[in-house]
Homo-oligomer: A and B are copies of this chain.
């Protein structure tokens, strides 16, 4: 039951290991008669190619790493699947780690991936990454890294939605409803994505007649529990906005639930709008107005970027922003100002 190696194959086929290796890689210098004999021996012995051994000599491992916070958020699930597909299509196998938005975990995952000699890493940084010794391990190994959806370093590539534009689009739509107050609920406090979305909302609301005060917004974890908690915190302060802007659709789900617990009807008593536009948004009741940030495009673009950088590590760090698109649905359409 021992492992079959190239040596065993070559011996069985009556050639040298070098020749067997050449056959393996389809070298045209080997005539068919010989390569057929080798391939037959492989099949008969049940040979399995050992990539790790090959990697020792070649300088690439044909593996990539992906670290995201939590795929129970469908937005990150979609992003993850796109990246896996791109990696697979390019012949890479993908290591995946879920940081759960914990920098300590993220650090350990980065480190083991680097030790496994990955050729590149997709990183959706945990909040607080800028403070942690994340960079240390990255530039000690000089592995190419592309930041996804959030960023903490200007020296690394970044691909994400144009959050500022997304915020502006949402603000414009909300003000066109005739709302007079809006508040942001949810999202990790110090992430670049949240800061940018706030900035977009602020510029979008400026001069629109809608009162929007970012300091009233409630930062939370990026999931339904966060949404419930965040909206509770806002309402319990006695703030009753015309429109609640959720940090993400995952958060909006929790907002819907908490509003209902308080006998408020989202879309009638208060508008709700959000970011991401996951598939679920359309299926909710009422369907949720959301700015699509196209995780498939982000993933695809990130993969292109990383593969390019692997080919040419000297490339300048790039920032690539994906244009968002507002999807208006009933969660804002049905709402009418209270009289």
Residues of chain A having any CB pair with chain B under 8 Å: 1, 46, 48-53, 55-56, 61, 63, 70-72, 74, 77-78, 80-81, 84-85, 88, 93-98, 105, 108-109, 112-117, 140-142, 224, 253-254, 256-257, 260, 279-280, 282-285
Query: Given A116-B63, A141-B48, A224-B279, are A95 and B97 neighbors across the interface (CB < 8 Å)?
Result: no
Q: Are A97 and B98 in contact (CB under 8 A)?
A: no
Residue from B95, B253, B283 within 8 A of A256 (CB atoms): B283
Q: A253-B283, A254-B283 are in contact. List 19 more A-B contacts (CB 8 A).
A: A48-B140, A49-B115, A50-B115, A52-B56, A63-B116, A71-B81, A72-B77, A72-B78, A72-B279, A77-B77, A84-B97, A85-B98, A93-B109, A93-B113, A94-B96, A224-B279, A224-B283, A256-B283, A260-B285
Chain B residues with Cβ under 8 A from A141's Cβ? Answer: 48
Q: A98-B81, A98-B85, A279-B72 are in contact. Are A116 and B93 (CB under 8 A)?
A: yes
> 24 A-B residue contacts at CB 8 Å?
A1-B142, A48-B114, A48-B115, A48-B141, A50-B117, A51-B112, A51-B115, A51-B116, A51-B117, A52-B55, A52-B117, A63-B95, A70-B81, A72-B74, A74-B74, A77-B77, A88-B108, A93-B95, A93-B112, A93-B116, A95-B96, A253-B283, A257-B282, A285-B285
A284 to B49 alpha-carbon distance, docked (Å): 49
Distance of A95 Cα from B93 Cα, bound (Å): 7
- Which of B77, B95, B254, B280 is the one whose CB lies under 8 Å from A95? B95
Output the least CB separation between A21 and chain B (Å): 15
Residues on B with C-beta less than 8 A from A72 are 74, 77-78, 81, 279
Instruction: Find out whether the CB atom of A88 lies under 8 angstroms from the CB atom of B115.
Output: no
Residue in contact with A253 in the complex, picked from B51, B96, B109, B280, CB distance below 8 Å: B280
Determine the chain B residues whose CB is within 8 A of the CB of A74 once the complex forms. Answer: 72, 74, 77
Residues in B with CB closer than 8 Å to A71 are 71, 77, 80-81
Residues in B with CB closer than 8 Å to A224 are 279, 283
Looking at the assembled complex, report how far the CB atom of A133 sits from the nearest CB atom of chain B, in whole angstroms. 12
Q: Give, as a whole number of angstroms, the nearest-CB distance from A313 to chain B.
A: 9
Cα separation A256 to B114 with both chains bound (whole Å): 45
Cross-chain contact A52 with B48 (CB below 8 angstroms): no
Instruction: Evaluate contact between B96 and A84: CB separation under 8 angstroms.
Output: yes
Do the beta carbons of A52 and B116 come within 8 Å of each other? yes
Q: How far is the CB of A296 from chain B (nearest CB, A)?
A: 11
- In the complex, what distance in Å separates the CA atom of A282 from the CA atom of B253? 11
Q: Kindly list chain B residues whose C-beta atoms are within 8 Å of the C-beta of A108.
A: 88
Residues from chain B with Cβ under 8 Å of A51 in the complex: 112, 115-117
Write the chain B residue with the least CB distance to A257.
B283
CB distance from A7 to the nearest CB of B (A): 14
Q: Which residues of B contact A105 (CB under 8 A)?
A: 88
Q: Which residues of B contact A117 (CB under 8 A)?
A: 50-52
Q: Which residues of B contact A97 (CB under 8 A)?
A: 84, 88, 93-94
Contacts of A280 in B (CB 8 A): 253, 280
